[in-house]
């Protein structure tokens, strides 16, 4: 008989990682508590709505599960609530970390440190960062990132897209930096030193400096899953030089397949670009905090 387990997720990256991990497990029957971008992503994965609960499910229902698995969030306390409630019920709770920066704030509720029984990470770099920033965590495990494994399989099997004779196709991936900074310190720019609009303007300014030496055929802006589709439509004009469009309805994998270059700040999408074999750049304004991704393949734009 399969064990009953609950997955609690809010942000996109953690949802992708946890769902891809869960797909490979036949020893559990999974249910979900999901908010924010996670709900849309679970719909994309055809998870039945009957298996996806509201936050209220965390109150009084956790002792039916053998284990609670959570991601972490910036702008939501959903996962921290799940961890706190699971520990109070003596239900095992394991948290996945899908990224490589700001680990300690992910476990803080005000000044209270809310820790699960175990933390699972993607690689040794993440494990080292966790040990440095949250030394109170004693039980850890390196599990890789099943989402990136799915990406690798996709790109190995996909038919390549022919090059554009007019130049490079650039995919720019956004991140809602202002929302994360606002959640952390009440200021849309204070935590990172810039917001998503500063970053996009800086990208265009840097691209203009490159334009004499780099022929660009098209730019596609891909909003983060937590952002509205029309958030960046005012940036869809690069004069008559280069057509700029907003990605609508494409998967990240499809957009990466289309692109020659990926540009962003420190999004997980840049790591997907590396897996896709693309040239990948971090483009952060001069006053911004440096890219926290540890991957040597990422160049400075």
Question: Given 123, 144, 165, which residue is the final one in a domain?
Answer: 144
Mind listing the pLDDT tens digit of every residue in the chain (301 residues)? 899 999 999 999 999 999 999 999 999 999 999 999 999 999 989 999 999 999 999 998 999 999 999 999 977 999 999 999 999 999 999 999 999 988 999 999 989 999 999 999 999 999 999 999 999 999 999 999 999 999 999 999 999 999 999 999 999 999 999 988 887 788 999 989 999 999 999 999 999 888 767 899 999 999 999 899 889 988 765 556 788 999 998 999 999 999 999 999 999 999 999 999 999 999 999 999 999 999 999 999 9
Task: Examine the domain organization and report whether 71 and 165 are in the same domain.
Answer: no
User: Which element (helix H / strand E) includes 28?
Assistant: strand 28-34
Task: Examine the domain organization and report whether 134 and 223 are in the same domain.
Answer: no
Q: How many independent structural domains does the chain possess?
A: 2
Task: Examine the domain organization and report whether 166 and 289 are in the same domain.
Answer: yes
Task: Examine the domain organization and report whether 221 and 180 are in the same domain.
Answer: yes
- The boundaries of the domain holding residue 166 are 150-300
Task: Examine the domain organization and report whether 131 and 31 are in the same domain.
Answer: yes
Question: Given 114, 144, 174, which residue is the final one in a domain?
Answer: 144
Task: Examine the domain organization and report whether 121 and 219 are in the same domain.
Answer: no
CATH number, domain with residue 18: 3.40.50.2000
The alpha-helical segments, DSSP class H, found in the chain are 12-23, 37-44, 78-88, 103-106, 124-133, 146-157, 177-185, 196-210, 252-258, 268-275
> pTM of the prediction?
0.91
Task: Examine the domain organization and report whether 233 and 166 are in the same domain.
Answer: yes
Question: Given 110, 144, 178, which residue is the final one in a domain?
Answer: 144
CATH number, domain with residue 207: 3.40.50
CA–CA dist 264, 14 (Å, integer):
19
Q: Is 3 helix (H, G, I), strand (E, B) or coil?
A: strand
Task: Examine the domain organization and report whether 100 and 221 are in the same domain.
Answer: no
Contacts of 183 (CB under 8 A, 6+ apart): 74, 75
Task: Examine the domain organization and report whether 222 and 112 are in the same domain.
Answer: no
């Amino acid at each position: 008989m399969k064990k009953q387990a609950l997955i609690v997720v809010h942000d996109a990256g953690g949802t992708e990682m946890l769902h891809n991990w869960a797909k490979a497990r036949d020893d559990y029957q999974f249910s979900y508590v999901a908010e924010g971008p996670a709900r849309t992503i679970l719909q994309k994965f055809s998870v039945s709505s009957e298996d996806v609960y509201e936050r209220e499910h965390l109150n009084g229902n956790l002792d039916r599960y053998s284990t609670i698995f959570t991601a972490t969030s910036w702008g939501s306390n959903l996962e921290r609530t799940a961890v706190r409630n699971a520990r109070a019920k003596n239900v095992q709770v394991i948290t996945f970390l899908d990224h490589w920066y700001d680990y300690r704030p992910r476990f803080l509720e005000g000044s209270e440190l809310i820790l699960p029984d175990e933390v699972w990470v993607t690689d040794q770099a993440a494990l080292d960062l966790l040990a440095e920033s949250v030394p109170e965590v004693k039980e850890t495990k390196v599990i890789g990132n099943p989402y990136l494994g799915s990406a690798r399989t996709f790109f190995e099997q996909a038919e390549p897209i022919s090059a554009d004779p007019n130049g490079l196709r650039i995919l720019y991936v956004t991140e809602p930096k202002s929302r994360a900074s606002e959640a952390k310190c009440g200021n849309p720019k204070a935590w990172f030193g810039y917001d998503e609009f500063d970053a996009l303007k800086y990208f265009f300014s840097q691209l203009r400096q490159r334009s004499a030496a780099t022929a660009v055929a098209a730019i596609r802006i891909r909003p983060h899953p937590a952002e509205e589709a029309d958030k960046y439509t005012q940036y869809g004009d690069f004069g008559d030089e280069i057509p700029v469009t907003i990605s609508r309805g494409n998967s990240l994998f499809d957009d990466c397949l289309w692109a020659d270059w990926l540009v962003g700040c420190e999004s997980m999408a840049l790591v997907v670009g590396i897996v896709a074999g693309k040239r990948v750049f971090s483009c952060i304004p001069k006053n911004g905090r440096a890219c926290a991704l540890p991957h040597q393949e990422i160049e400075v734009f």
